[in-house]
Copies of this chain bind each other. A is one copy, B any other.
Amino acid sequence: MKEFLSPEAAKLSPYTPGEQPLDKKYVKLNTNESPFPPSPKVLDALSREESEKLNLYPDPACRVLTDAIAKRHGVKPENVIAGNGSDEILAFAFRAFCGSGIGAAYADITYSFYKAQTALFGLDATVIPLRDDFSLCVDDYLNFPGTVFIANPNAPTGMEISVKDISRLAKSNPERVVVIDEAYVDFGGETCVPLTARYDNLLVVQTFSKSRSLAGGRVGFAIGAAGLIAALNRVKYSFNPYNVNRLSLVAGAAAMEDEAYFQACCEAIQANRAWTADALKKIGFTVLPSKANFVFAKSDRLSGEEAYRGLKERGVLVRWFDAPRLKDYLRISIGSRDQMQVLIDRLKEMSEGT
């Protein structure tokens, strides 16, 4: 099977999505989705009338969506770009802000997509290890001259970096772009969006996939100074001008406008996270302090792989990473209270050898 790969394509490092087995119905706690359906206002917005207009291209500028995002976050529409999920926005950022003489720095333990996208554009990568306790120390990035990518809260640890530290990083070198990936910020973290008004070099990326129950709709966005957004648009219009489809535009706008539903979902996840962390600790797990919609935890009895496989056999999917610093741990998405009860019950069975 000849693939005709270019030298650059041969060097790619494709991302492996969380498994989506179709053999049976699982309690799915492996891809950090929301356990809640989208807001009823989203369902109403996705009307037959909207579908009837699908023969027409979407607005390439995504105005209905960027206006809603801008309003919610207290910025101007020129400070917002929307994408086909935040992965696409991140790819735009790698192309816009990295290249010859401008490498990318990111942590050894973080969203593994940064590595894939660095390879996609053939960029120089500087991988900076987290500290032994999995904390990210911005001092380790202060002298890096290229573009910095930080997930905050970090994945798969769930741990937070303080806004004060990120402010210090952005300020330390105004010639260098700092990209903060806030995919998981809505579950108790503090956003850096207000800092974008102060620092022209700070880009904040967010997604509708977690806190706004639209992983299936593929909507992400970035907020930053108008110059950064213009740079991202240069890439977008070189890649895929009509990048967000019509239905996702209206769904995203409706989701952004339903603040009450959003708050209720985020609060429920935080309550379930606290309950799950306690329950895990009671059965011998060490749980890292999480501000995300998942916890990263290791058992004092089972190896990471044993726990992952045992849960899968018992109908519960979690994510396990076969990597040196991660392999003792499980990344467990926070679902509904019922789902978390099933997880704990199955882990108890396994610990007790039943």
Question: Which A residues lie at the B interface, using CB under 8 A?
Answer: 1-9, 12-17, 20, 28, 31, 33-38, 42-43, 46, 48, 51-60, 84-85, 87-88, 91, 95-102, 116-117, 119-121, 177, 200-201, 209, 213-218, 225-228, 230-231, 233-248, 251
Contacts and interface: CB of A to CB of B under 8 A. Distances in A.
Contacts of A231: 3-5, 9
Given A216-B246, A245-B248, A38 B14 contact: no
B4 A97 contact: yes
B235 A120 contact: yes
Given A33-B55, A57-B31, A95 B6 contact: yes
Contacts of A9: 95-97, 99, 231, 234-235
Nearest to A219: B245
Given A5-B234, A9-B231, A43-B52, 4 more contacts: A9-B97, A43-B51, A57-B216, A84-B245
Contact of A234 (B12, B51, B55): B12
A129 B95 CA distance: 30
11 contacts: A1-B227, A6-B98, A6-B99, A8-B99, A12-B235, A15-B237, A33-B55, A43-B48, A43-B51, A53-B216, A84-B245
A87 to B, nearest CB: 5
Nearest to A13: B238
Contacts of A42: 51, 54
Contacts of A51: 38, 42-43, 46, 251
A4 B34 CA distance: 35
Contact of A238 (B20, B120, B227): B120
A46 B217 CA distance: 13
A22 to B, nearest CB: 9
Contacts of A16: 237
Which 10 residue pairs of A and B lie closest in terms of their CB atoms, listed nearest first?
A6-B99, A14-B237, A216-B246, A8-B99, A55-B213, A54-B216, A1-B227, A218-B245, A3-B231, A116-B238
Contacts of A216: 53-58, 245-247
Given A1-B230, A52-B43, A245-B248, A117 B37 contact: no
Given A9-B235, A238-B13, A239-B120, A55 B31 contact: no
Nearest to A146: B6
A201 to B, nearest CB: 7
B55 A35 contact: yes
B4 A58 contact: no
B227 A3 contact: yes
A215 B6 contact: no
Contact of A242 (B35, B218, B240, B246): B218
B84 A243 contact: yes
Contacts of A116: 237-239
A214 B57 CA distance: 8
Contacts of A247: 46, 216-217, 245, 247-248
A239 to B, nearest CB: 5
Contact of A8 (B95, B240, B248): B95
A56 B33 contact: yes
Residue of A2, A35, A216, A244 with most chain B CB atoms under a 10 A cut-off: A216
